[in-house]
A and B are shown apart, each in its own frame.
Chain A
């Protein structure tokens, strides 16, 4: 029960940061970090996978409402919610025995960084390409993915670090 309260608290905090701060920064019109995907990374791994995907769809849908991009974040979030258990299963022997959020502590730092990098790249690629909905400005979209991805990666690591120390 307290785990769920803690999760909801973190979820609200990270959504607040995303909507109030990061969505309002215009870094050259190019860089737009999405740290809210941390909320999907923190979902308890023992939840049934279909439920993880539905929660992912709901979180993405919320972001879409806020960003006026119907379906874009939803598609990306469902994809990473589907991939996360598969990725975790490839790192650990017995995923059935794992409980709670996936963090640096539950995986080794190396594995966690790898997981985070894959999730961020998949999510950002889907978001930026679906939003552009064309391959005409391919280089520009790639640059968006790269720069925003690096920043999201750094932010989420920072959150992980802060969480570990509190």
Chain B
């Protein structure tokens, strides 16, 4: 017994090293799981407040490009309104105009505008921090979109801030489909190229061409169907392969992303309760 105590005493520093390293390793392994990545990170007040101060200073230098981006988005929205008005006129001509307006349940989303106040694009597990939080109705697992297409999924929220795992996060798999034929596939990103990702699970019998548009599948409550994800940039199929290797140019440029919308699904609780029943 005394010998054992002496041994422990003699190697106490080394044992402490091993102990601390084990703690750190447990944190690393746990942190590699998607759910935990940023659970304790920027959604915690202090870090996010520092980021907000930084962003408030930097945003002055970006006013010009921000304006340009907003103008572009406005133009797009005006165009959309026109198209919608046209189709509305066409439908009111055939149906009774006193009908109660009706939305399909899978399209019932509310949009919460938010600003990106910090971001990381050079890591395996990248993130965006938004200036909206639980106070504004954000909860984890909400979809986030930008003007060009999908951005990511809300990961954790504090009262004033939210952390988003973007499409360029190695823990994220996006359920997508080909716009032309509705074939389902999974989009997964690997570092370092922030502009492109890989499309997995596409069997060899499917007709795939460079230039095909990839959109969200609508198979979860996170995103509605038909939001732009990206465009097929390269296709290859080995002699004996049963699945394609497909590269996709992502619709969103994460390095210049400033304004986003968080998607709040109205019937989420209802959908969850009926699927888990």
Contact = CB atoms under 8 A, between A and B. Distances in A.
Say if A and B assemble together: yes
Interface of A: 19-20, 24, 26, 29-30, 32, 49-50, 53-54, 57, 60, 64-66, 68-72, 74-75, 78-79, 82, 130-133, 137, 140
B40 A70 contact: yes
Nearest to A74: B24
B124 A131 contact: yes
B189 to A, nearest CB: 13
Nearest to B27: A71
Binding site of A, secondary structure by majority: helix, strand, loop or mixed? helix
B120 A68 contact: yes
B37 interface: yes
A130 B31 CA distance: 11
A70 B25 contact: no
Contact of A130 (B16, B28, B121, B123): B28
Contacts, number: 90
B192 interface: yes
Given A70-B31, A70-B40, A130-B28, A29 B47 contact: no
A68 B41 contact: yes
Given A29-B194, A74-B27, A130-B28, 8 more contacts: A26-B255, A50-B16, A53-B20, A57-B23, A64-B27, A65-B40, A71-B29, A82-B14
A82 to B, nearest CB: 5
Interface string B2-23: 0000000000111011001101
Contact of B44 (A65, A69, A75): A65
Nearest to A56: B20
Nearest to B129: A68
A71 B25 CA distance: 6
Given A68-B37, A68-B41, A70-B36, A79 B28 contact: no
24 contacts: A19-B50, A24-B54, A26-B121, A26-B255, A29-B122, A29-B191, A50-B12, A50-B16, A53-B17, A57-B23, A60-B24, A64-B27, A65-B47, A68-B123, A69-B28, A71-B24, A71-B29, A71-B30, A74-B20, A74-B23, A75-B25, A78-B21, A131-B123, A133-B32
